[in-house]
Amino acid sequence: MPDDQAQLFTATEILELLAELGDRLASRHETIDAYVVGGAAIAVILDSRKSTEDVDALFSNLRLAIEVGEEIAAERGLPAHWLNSSIQSYIPSWAKTEDTEAKTMVLGGLTVRLASPRWLLAMKMAAGRLKDRRDIADLIRFLDLHSAEEIVDWTIEVHGEGSVILQDSRESLIWQAEEMLRLAWPEG
């Protein structure tokens, strides 16, 4: 696939790729834990038509995950970096264990924890990227949230007041949450 053309993965394809990764790990008698976040987790959890360019995750053995992921990519003609760990700058270090609502799946040698919708919302709010607007609105609707204060309180609770990850002021986050609520609930 040309480098300038992004491959987009659906929820079904994401699960198939993770299952293949798990099968290959099992055949090597290896196990890895993965905390999956971002668009991949949103697509699977919300069972949406959303597609994403990669699978963002924290891995217990990053080197092995990338090695096996690159083998899969080479054989399937996928981008070499369909597994992506660069998202960790937006993930609080304690998220893997504190996200008690995360959905767990065992796929061969891969134990996957899909970040919960509330944690995904907090991560997307902290990132504050324009490209995340649709994801934030989808999560707000899924969680049936209607209060900017509730969204911001949760975001601050997850990341910690004054954390390096959460650089916007509370007022800025309230404004962002109000904008996202208008996008999520345009009629009301």
- Boundary-marking domain end, from 60, 82, 115: 115
Find all residues with CB under 8 Å of 4, minimum gap 6, and list them: none
Angle at 9 between CA 62 and CA 53, to 5 degrees: 60
pLDDT average, residue stretch 95-105:
88
- C-alpha distance from residue 85 to each of 55, 69, 96, 159 (Å): 8, 12, 14, 19
In a domain, 2, yes or no: no
Predicted local confidence at residue 5, as pLDDT: 58
Answer yes or no: is 64 within a domain: yes
**Residues 99, 179 within the same domain:** no
pLDDT for 2 equals 47
Residues 29 and 90 in one domain: yes
67 and 134 assigned to the same domain: no
Residues 105, 37 share a domain: yes
**Boundary-marking domain end, from 97, 115, 133:** 115
pLDDT digits (tens, 9 = 90+) for 103-156: 999 999 999 999 999 999 999 999 888 999 999 999 999 999 999 999 999 999
The two tokens of residue 58 are 């924290």
pLDDT of residue 7: 86
Based on the domain organization, do 109 and 126 belong to the same domain?
no
Domain hosting 72: range is 11-115
Q: Determine the pLDDT at residue 50.
A: 80
Query: Do 21 and 107 fall into the same domain?
Result: yes
One domain for residues 139 and 99 = no
- Decide if 161 contacts 143 (C-beta within 8 A): no
Q: Please tell me the distance from the alpha carbon of residue 183 to that of residue 188, in angstroms, as a whole number.
A: 10
Q: Is residue 108 part of a domain?
A: yes
- Specify whether 136 is located in the same domain as 177: yes
Cα separations (Å) of 18 from 35, 95, 110, 123?
A: 12, 20, 8, 22
Give the DSSP H or E segment for 25: helix 11-27
Classify residue 4: in a domain, yes or no. no
Give the other-Cβ count within 10 Å of 48's Cβ: 15
pLDDT at 1 over 60: no
Do residues 67 and 126 both lie within one domain? no
Question: 133 with 42: CB under 8 angstroms?
Answer: no
Instruction: Tell me which of 115, 131, 161 is where a domain ends.
Output: 115
pTM, whole model, 2 decimals? 0.90
Number of domains in the chain: 2
